[in-house]
Structure 1
């Protein structure tokens, strides 16, 4: 789609005004490099060393200390980790058999057994209700242990995505003997895992120091020490990179990352992730009308927004899956068509001059350019005759409104499962039995049930492709963009790409 210069410059002025960044242009000072230490400016601290709650950004740190039952390769294929083999024992997704490695030790020397798995995914759920851990793995009814390296997991209801979730957040293995001996509070202060690094120093909101785990069961990491400085301000992180204080940082806007990448000593890397941004709709007011819902979608110029806000790195999406994800559907789209959007509004028969402004809800600074994105979308809707009112909320308010069913208009939402399994997108966001779903209508259950019951991945992918084509064509959600990661590092570093955008620190090396 061609964009007029007037369109691009006009929208860029609205969205990027005031977005200047004063970066250091002089040659950075010489520094003595300890090749065994990696210095990182990280944009957020972890929620805690008891990994029952985490975001994808935090999980890069947690995965240094804790192993997950399964891993993902660069193409989002599941690979063995602590779990070496798995199989369903029924056709409904309620009994899962797992086999474990027998040569893994935790950082304190304790040998891993199936008892640690049972503690991590069943006993801790009872100890830590109202956590993400409990929200996902509370579906387990019991775990049988035929021997020390085998487990049979029984689910209360079909959980066909359980295998994928063993490589997602918050699936981490903890040592049950140590945890029960020291208690939760002490464990948070001195955590023990079986991952490639062990914690040696932690100053909340300031600094994390990790050292290579001498008893790690896989190949040793390339760095013997990670110094992770918690620096939430992106300008401060940029200055630290250009001045040579740190080797690596991430979570920059595309604009800032491009600017930093122009520095001779630095490289900027961009790659799509498994995260998406979308507008969730509600079955209220004018949004009850299908023509109105579809008009809102056709009025959004996604390529223009991607160029203006993200320098083209955010891929427009039309179902909840992007490039490289299992359920990516390259043969389906609802392309920008404002003339057709106006036609749909006329067909609705609604007099929009007499309507109250449509509420649209967003955070500020939580998702990439979230407020700027919503401002631009609101302008595009205004251009077809729908007035809007932008409501800026904290993430806590978003959650409270969601749980209390208080939303009365579109909500900008970010969603970032790690594995790309389609059941963790619409299977959560459109499932009427889960609080994440804002749209509620009687026809959803009939259409989504076959997808939720698909036990094998190929069948699940096809079932969710069919469902997502249908639900987007009904105007029940408006997928917007596939997220991307922006990592800036010294050009002496080799940072392997990961399809989900989660930084794997054990694989980073100097070249």
Structure 2
């Protein structure tokens, strides 16, 4: 009747269980942004998780290999209807303040997330499928859901689902917890200076074994040139995404003490189309504009090979990716024929809206403009301040014919992208209304049949590609710069770094 996952051995391997070892040095990391708040329910920032993955843990865990394994839960049973999940909790775990981890802490965490406190933050909506958490005994909890959610177990590995200590929170209150958080992770926070940095020290009592590092010093360095200079001077050991500009990679690689380590990340880039107005309301025109652009040359010449071209608005690591879906080929002659068939005259104009502060994508947009000129389309580039583009221009349907869209859904599940981009009435879909596509998107959401859901997501990707709803460009790598004295480092695609098995020589 139930599907059961019991994988303690796998968990111990994936979570780095080992006998306590001597701590080996200090690691200094350049992080491009101060999250400003360390409460798991108050943030959606990647730079939060780059630090906080070492402080907090969820019931499940997903490491750099992208495999979901037990975390603070050792096993879970999912009911056949998908509406009840029973978690067996890990025993003998303590929070950094000595408070015991147990079922009461899990219930407190989710009651808070789904209650009044959580309502003020950005994470609550990701977990609204949870009706209640029931304590069965000290190390067993039942999650009662109002609908099946096949992505919930992945969501429990990150951000708002991180388990916090109820006694400590009650003692210090919300504001103090924001600045002095306590979790169960391999490191403890010892200091936080806003806009300056964060210091962590090893948690010798960590259930997965004492970390090999004695301390981690995160420095908030917003300017890429400054971060690279500090790396070159030996004052920083690791620079994390998205700091490193493509143009600085050769300089870093020329230093024998430094290396670039990259891995395909969650972020994909596209130029989406206004499907309601102007010449891009015609599917033939949209397809022609895609055919006019040599995206592989853009990846090679502008992005230094640190990306791969894509056929749909997702990367290969995304659940729902279809490796057999072919990209629309670079074919200028075919593009011109389609434009003529659609009645578009040479010299027709389109506007491309971009984020003004994204220097790399502005280069990409210039290249796209040049390719479009080659088939008789005059493309002008309109830069906007990022917040204006994202909060006003796109949602209000005030874009030009094409507009920049990047998306980095950390769940690596195509639903996270496709529903937001294609479903009628969604914020990021100001133009298109397609009942057939809406029905496909809605059908896959509650499915617990993994194979059927994957088939539907692949069908959605093919459908969107057939309608040419965007010009898919590339899946960008997560790029790290590192001093070679750092050992045991594995780049995380989602920048969520757990550093208990890293050491410095």
Q: TM-score, with normalisation over the residues of structure 1? A: 0.86
- Name the residue aligned to 1:128: 118
Q: CA deviation at 1:37?
A: 0.8
Higher deviation after alignment, 145-154 or 369-378: 145-154
Q: CA deviation at 1:55?
A: 2.3
C-alpha separation in 2, matches of 1:431 and 1:112 = 40
C-alpha separation in 2, matches of 1:453 and 1:479 = 27
Match of 1:238 among 228, 231, 235: 228
C-alpha separation in 2, matches of 1:189 and 1:475 = 46
- Name the residue aligned to 2:10: none
- Over 3 Å counting, the alpha-carbon distance change for 1:473 and 1:166 in structure 2 is same
Q: In the TM superposition, what whole-angstrom CA distance separates every residue of 1:257-282 from its partner, at most 9, and x where no partner exists?
A: 23212111112212212222223333
Match of 2:179 among 189, 195, 209: 189
Matched length? 474
Q: TM-score, with normalisation over the residues of structure 2? A: 0.87
Contact 2:292/2:330, CA 8 A, preserved across alignment:
yes
Q: How does 1:37-56 map to 2 (within 5 A)?
A: 37-51=26-40, 52-56=42-46
Structure 1: stretches of 5+ with no match in the other structure: 1-33
Q: Residue 447 of structure 1: SS of its match in structure 2?
A: helix
- Name the residue aligned to 1:393: 384
State yes or no: 1:335 paired with 2:329.
yes
Q: CA deviation at 1:314?
A: 0.6
State yes or no: 1:373 paired with 2:364.
yes
C-alpha separation in 2, matches of 1:345 and 1:86 = 55
State yes or no: 1:283 paired with 2:272.
no
Match of 1:418 among 410, 417, 430: 410
- Name the residue aligned to 1:108: 97
- Name the residue aligned to 1:77: 67
Q: In the TM superposition, what whole-angstrom CA distance separates every residue of 1:129-182 from its partner, at most 9, and x where no partner exists?
A: 253212212333322222333333233444221112222444322222322332
Q: CA deviation at 1:408?
A: 4.9
State yes or no: 1:346 paired with 2:340.
yes
Higher deviation after alignment, 395-404 or 173-182: 395-404
- Name the residue aligned to 1:475: 468
- Over 3 Å counting, the alpha-carbon distance change for 1:185 and 1:289 in structure 2 is same
State yes or no: 1:318 paired with 2:311.
yes
- Name the residue aligned to 1:272: 264
Q: Residue 54 of structure 2: SS of its match in structure 1?
A: helix
- Name the residue aligned to 2:286: 293
- Over 3 Å counting, the alpha-carbon distance change for 1:219 and 1:398 in structure 2 is farther
Contact 1:167/1:419, CA 8 A, preserved across alignment:
no
C-alpha separation in 2, matches of 1:410 and 1:44 = 29
Q: CA deviation at 1:324?
A: 4.2
- Over 3 Å counting, the alpha-carbon distance change for 1:67 and 1:330 in structure 2 is same
Contact 1:253/1:310, CA 8 A, preserved across alignment:
no
